[in-house]
Amino acid sequence: MLNLQADLDAILENEALTADLDDDAADVLLDWGLSHARRVHRLAVDDPDPAGYVATQMKATRKWMRALNRWTPTRAEKDPAENAAALAEILTLAGVNATPETQTAFLAAHLGEPSPAFIASLRSFCEGR
């Protein structure tokens, strides 16, 4: 049985998803994660195994949220290859297909943004694909 509220609560109660971010950035990431969880549940109705789909997608959601939580506050200290690898990992976990050139362009345009804006830009990038 699918339980959207349980998945939303699991995101809200998991401090490891936002522990490295300031409050504003954490709020942006939580909003994205909660929105994504709602989307996962909407899409599950069309899957032959809705419960399996939700379980797999929610596990991936928590993984990309944790990865973004760890990377965001340290991205200015990383070299371009490390940032490219971090972005590629997050996009893979989020199920987003983007060419290396598109990823490089995203980083060039948004890497220097404050953390809340950076996360919002990445959300727009991912949801626009």
pLDDT (0 to 100) of residue 46:
92
Domain of residue 53, residue span: 4-127
CA atoms within 13 A on the CB side of 87: 29
- Does 1 have pLDDT greater than 80? no
- Does 129 have pLDDT greater than 90? no
Report the number of distinct structural domains present in the chain. 1
If residue 5 lies in a helix (H) or strand (E), which one and from where to where?
helix 4-13
- Does 16 have pLDDT greater than 80? yes
**pTM for this entry:** 0.95
Predicted confidence band at 59 (pLDDT cuts at 50, 70, 90)? very high
Three-state DSSP at 7 gives: helix
